[in-house]
C-alpha cells in the first residue's frame, strides 16, 4: 500500500464571520486532519472540521501568550511528515501580516508540499463593512496599509502625506499614531474610524477626527481593530446601507470599562463582568430598529452544545436579533462503547427503545452502523422519543417514532405512555453522567425493566468563546438563553463566581420547567419560559418578551411627553 503524502495548506480565514470564508477554504476544512489555528479565528469555523481532527490553538493575538513561531513551524513539518493533511488557518489573508514566510521556508527546507489559499483581508473588508470606500476619484486615489505594532520603525513623515491610511494592530498605540501624524502636518480635523471585530455580529465602529479619536475610545479595547484615516471616512454617512449600524460622532454615554479583552480560561470572575442596567450603556455603535423585526437591536447570547445551535440562531436572526454563540456543552463519545454495543447486538430482546435527545439518536445509529447493522435491526422494537428535535433526528434515519409525549418533556413520557409498562423491557441510551434519574425510576415503578447504556458524554468546554466573553464584558447582552439544565451549570463553571453577577436588565430565557429550576437555583430568577418546550417555543417566548418590553417603553415615553 502506498503511504499517503502529507500536505500543508496555509489558509486565510477572512475577517471573521464564517460567511466570508472562501469555498476553497471550506472544502479544505471539512476534510482536514490537523488544524493549526490563530486566536482570532472565528470559533464557528472550528465547527466545520471533522470530529477526528486534531485542533491546535497557537494563539497569535497581540499582547497575549502564544506559541513561538519556531514551534509552529515544527508542528507543521512534523504532522505533514506523518502523512497528515494540515491546515494552518490564519485570520484575514495569509500573506498580509500573516507571518507566512517563516512557515513556508520551514516547509521548503523539510521538503513538505504546501499550498497557500487566499482569504479576505480585514484591511479591505473592515472599511467596506463599515461603509467606508478606500478609494475615491477625488478624495482618495490610493491607500496605504500598515501595521502599527512597532510604530517607532515607521516613516511617519511619508505616511502623513498619504491620502488614506489603513492601520492594523494599532489600537494599543493610537495615541502615538495621532501624535506622529499631526507632528508631520496631518490636520487634527482629519476623519478617523476605528472598526472593531469587523465582519462579526459584535462589530463596533467609532467615527471621530484625528483630534478626538483617542478621547472617544478611552476605556474601550481596540483589539482587534482596523483604524482608517482619511477624508473617505466622511463618505460613510452617505454610502451606508439603511440596515447598517448607526454610529454617532460622539459617545452616547461614559465609556464602559473593560477588565480584559481577550479569551480567558474557565474561572473568569463574573464580578468582573458588570451587566446591570446595561441597555442604556451601549456605546456609539447602535443597531437600527426595524419595526418588522421584533428582536432588532437585541443581542442574544445562545448557550448550547458546540455545533448544535445553528437552527436556533437562524430563527433568532430572522427575527432581527444579533446572535452570539457561547458553547457551554461539548458532546463526546462515552468512556466505553461496550454496554451500548452489547445492547445493540441483542435488540430483538427489547420491547421499546427510548431516545430523549438528538445526541442519543446520532450516537445510537453510529454504533448500529459500526456493528454492520441498519434500521432494519429495529424491526419489532417500538420507539419513543422526547421532543420534536429528537423526532426529526430519528426521521433522518428513515424512521418514525411510535410515541412522542405531548409536552415534549421526559417527565410526561410515563404519564402518557400508550400501553402498560408491566413486564416491558426498555433500552435507554443516554448521557453517561449527569442525567436526571426520574424517568428511569418512574418506568421501573410501573413494572418495566430498564436497561441504561451510555451513548455519549457531555462536558464543559475549557474556555469561553472570545466573542461571548467580549460581549459580556461590554455589557452588550440583552438575553441569555438556556436549553437544558447542563447549559446553566456549565455557564456557571465557565464564568466563575456566579453568585456575584448582577443580572439586572439581562433577560434569562429558559426552554422549560427543569431548566428553569436550575436557573432559579444558580441565577436566582427566570424571566422567560417557553410555553412549548422547544426551540421554536423559546424563540416565540423571547419575541413576546421583547414586544412587551417595547410596548412598556413606548407607554413610558408617551406619559413623559404628556407630563412635559
Active site (catalytic) residues:
38, 60, 169
155, 121, 129, 126: which is closest to 227 by C-alpha? 126
Q: Is 41 exposed, middle or buried (0-12, 13-18, 19+ CB in 10 A)?
A: buried
Residues sharing a CB contact under 8 Å with residue 426, sequence separation 6 or more, in sequence order: 350, 351, 352, 353, 354, 443, 448, 449, 450, 451
Q: What are the respective helix, strand and coil percentages of the chain, to the nearest 5?
A: 35, 20, 45
Place of cell 435491526: 377
Q: Give ∠ CA 215-217-223 in degrees, rounded to 5.
A: 145
Residues sharing a CB contact under 8 Å with residue 474, sequence separation 6 or more, in sequence order: 256, 258, 283
- Angle of helix 485-495 relative to helix 513-522, nearest 10 degrees, comes to 20
Place of cell 503511504: 3
DSSP one-letter string for 39-80: TTS-HHHHTTS-TT-EEEE----TTS----HHHHHHHHHHHH
Beginning with the edge strand found earlier in the chain, give each strand of the sheet holding 204-209 in spatial order. Answer: 144-147, 165-168, 225-229, 191-196, 204-209
523, 542, 532: which is closest to 479 by C-alpha? 542
Is the separation of the CB atoms in 250 and 218 below 8 Å?
Answer: no
281, 177, 176: which is closest to 219 by C-alpha? 281
Q: What distance in Å separates the CA atoms of residue 174 and residue 209, rounded to the nearest whole number?
A: 12
Q: What distance in Å separates the CA atoms of residue 287 and residue 299, rounded to the nearest whole number?
A: 10
Q: Is 528 helix (H, G, I), strand (E, B) or coil?
A: strand
Residues sharing a CB contact under 8 Å with residue 316, sequence separation 6 or more, in sequence order: 295, 300, 302, 323, 539, 542
Is the separation of the CB atoms in 170 and 147 below 8 Å?
Answer: yes
Residues sharing a CB contact under 8 Å with residue 214, sequence separation 6 or more, in sequence order: 174, 175, 178
C-alpha cell at 100: 507566512
87, 71, 67: which is closest to 21 by C-alpha? 87
Amino acid at each position: 500500500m502506498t503511504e499517503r503524502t502529507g500536505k500543508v495548506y496555509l489558509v486565510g480565514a477572512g475577517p471573521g464571520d464564517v460567511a466570508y470564508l472562501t469555498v476553497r477554504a471550506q472544502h479544505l476544512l471539512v476534510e482536514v486532519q490537523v488544524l493549526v489555528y490563530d486566536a482570532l479565528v472565528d470559533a464557528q469555523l472550528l465547527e466545520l472540521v471533522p470530529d477526528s481532527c486534531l485542533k491546535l490553538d497557537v494563539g497569535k493575538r497581540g499582547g497575549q501568550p502564544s506559541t513561538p513561531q519556531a514551534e509552529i513551524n515544527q508542528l507543521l513539518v512534523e504532522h505533514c511528515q506523518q502523512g497528515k493533511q494540515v491546515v494552518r488557518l490564519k485570520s484575514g489573508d495569509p500573506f498580509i501580516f500573516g507571518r507566512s514566510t517563516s512557515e513556508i521556508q520551514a516547509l521548503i527546507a523539510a521538503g513538505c508540499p504546501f499550498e497557500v489559499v487566499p482569504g479576505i483581508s480585514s484591511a479591505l473588508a473592515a472599511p467596506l463593512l463599515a461603509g467606508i470606500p478606500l478609494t475615491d476619484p477625488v478624495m482618495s486615489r490610493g491607500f496605504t496599509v500598515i501595521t502599527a505594532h512597532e510604530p517607532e520603525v515607521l516613516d511617519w513623515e511619508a505616511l502623513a502625506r498619504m491620502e488614506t491610511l489603513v492601520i492594523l494592530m494599532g489600537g494599543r498605540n493610537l495615541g502615538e499614531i495621532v501624535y506622529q501624524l499631526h507632528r508631520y502636518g496631518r490636520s487634527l480635523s482629519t476623519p478617523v474610524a476605528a472598526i472593531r471585530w469587523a465582519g462579526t455580529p459584535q462589530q463596533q465602529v467609532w467615527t471621530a477626527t484625528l483630534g478626538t479619536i483617542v478621547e472617544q475610545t478611552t476605556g474601550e479595547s481596540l483589539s482587534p481593530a482596523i483604524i482608517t484615516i482619511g477624508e473617505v471616512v466622511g463618505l460613510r454617512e452617505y454610502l451606508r446601507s439603511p440596515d447598517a449600524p448607526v454610529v454617532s460622532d460622539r459617545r452616547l454615554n461614559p465609556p464602559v470599562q473593560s477588565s480584559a479583552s481577550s479569551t480567558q480560561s474557565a474561572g473568569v470572575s463574573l464580578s468582573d463582568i458588570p451587566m446591570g442596567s446595561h441597555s442604556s450603556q451601549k456605546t456609539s455603535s447602535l443597531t437600527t430598529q426595524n419595526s418588522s423585526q421584533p428582536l432588532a437591536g437585541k443581542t442574544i447570547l445562545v448557550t448550547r452544545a458546540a455545533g448544535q445551535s445553528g437552527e436556533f440562531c437562524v430563527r433568532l436572526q430572522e427575527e432581527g436579533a444579533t446572535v452570539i454563540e457561547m458553547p457551554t456543552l461539548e458532546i463526546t463519545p462515552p468512556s466505553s462503547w461496550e454496554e451500548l454495543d452489547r445492547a445493540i447486538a441483542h435488540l430483538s430482546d427489547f420491547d421499546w427503545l427510548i431516545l430523549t435527545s438528538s445526541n442519543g439518536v446520532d450516537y445510537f445509529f453510529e454504533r448500529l452502523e459500526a456493528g454492520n447493522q441498519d434500521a432494519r435491526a429495529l424491526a419489532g422494537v417500538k420507539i419513543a422519543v422526547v421532543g420534536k428535535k429528537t423526532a426529526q433526528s430519528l426521521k433522518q434515519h428513515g424512521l418514525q417514532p411510535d410515541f412522542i409525549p405531548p409536552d415534549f418533556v421526559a417527565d410526561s413520557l410515563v404519564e402518557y405512555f400508550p400501553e402498560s409498562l408491566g413486564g416491558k423491557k426498555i433500552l435507554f441510551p443516554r448521557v453517561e453522567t449527569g442525567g436526571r434519574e426520574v424517568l428511569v425510576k418512574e418506568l421501573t415503578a410501573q413494572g418495566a425493566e430498564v436497561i441504561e447504556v451510555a451513548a455519549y458524554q457531555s462536558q464543559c468546554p475549557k474556555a469561553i468563546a472570545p466573542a461571548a466573553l467580549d460581549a459580556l464584558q461590554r455589557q452588550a447582552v440583552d438575553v441569555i438563553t438556556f436549553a437544558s439544565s447542563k447549559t446553566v451549570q456549565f455557564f456557571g463553571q465557565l464564568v466563575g463566581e456566579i453568585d456575584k453577577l448582577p443580572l439586572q436588565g439581562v433577560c434569562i430565557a429558559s426552554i422549560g420547567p427543569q431548566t428553569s429550576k436550575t436557573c432559579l437555583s444558580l441565577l436566582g430568577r427566570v424571566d422567560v419560559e417557553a410555553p412549548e418546550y422547544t426551540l421554536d417555543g423559546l424563540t416565540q417566548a423571547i419575541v413576546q418578551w421583547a414586544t412587551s418590553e417595547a410596548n412598556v417603553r413606548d407607554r413610558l415615553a408617551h406619559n413623559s411627553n404628556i407630563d412635559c
